[in-house]
């Protein structure tokens, strides 16, 4: 996933309009072009956008948590096969926290799908509306 798409997803997750994110950094149309992968921002603009989104710059240095995402995948498969709702609740909480702490993880979309699938497995237990990242 490219930087622009990650910026767009995080901006939308935080419910920030393009105009607000771009204010004082660049024009909204330039931010749109970044998000759509049409331009690569300068280091200065990238730095300011990520700071405004509260994304640590060190998260861009590759997938440092690959072992964690592999572990999530294994746990997810086990839960789907066993249909264990207690384990599903625990994994949901772990994935949700991980997504919040690692917004630029390479496996973000996969983890968001795991999170949604676990929410569907636990409709009576989780308040789905409060956990959606839309």
117, 109 Cβ separation under 8 angstroms: no
Radius of gyration in angstroms for the set of CA atoms belonging to the chain, rounded to a whole number = 17
pLDDT for the residue 55: 80
pLDDT for the residue 113: 87
Please name each of the domains of the chain with its CATH number.
3-60 (1.10.260.40), 66-131 (no CATH)
pTM of the predicted model as reported, rounded to 2 decimal places: 0.49
Q: SS3 of 40, please?
A: coil
118, 91 Cβ separation under 8 angstroms: yes
pLDDT, tens digit (0-9, with 9 covering 90-100), for 13-61: 899 999 999 999 999 999 999 999 999 999 899 999 999 998 876 666 5
Tell me the CA distances in angstroms from 36 to 5, 9, 26, 99, one per residue in order: 7, 11, 15, 22
């Amino acid at each position: 996933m490219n930087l622009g798409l990650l910026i767009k997803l995080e901006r939308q997750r935080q419910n920030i309009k393009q105009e607000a994110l771009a204010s004082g950094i660049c024009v909204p149309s330039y931010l749109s072009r970044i998000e759509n992968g049409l331009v690569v921002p300068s280091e200065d603009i990238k730095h300011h956008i990520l700071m405004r989104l509260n994304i640590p710059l060190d998260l861009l240095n590759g997938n440092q948590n690959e072992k964690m995402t592999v572990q999530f995948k294994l746990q997810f498969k086990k839960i789907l096969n066993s249909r264990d709702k207690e384990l599903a609740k625990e994994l949901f909480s772990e994935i949700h926290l991980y997504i919040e702490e690692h917004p630029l993880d390479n496996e973000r979309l996969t983890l968001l799908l795991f999170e949604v699938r676990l929410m569907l497995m636990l409709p009576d237990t989780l308040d789905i509306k409060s956990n959606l990242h839309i």
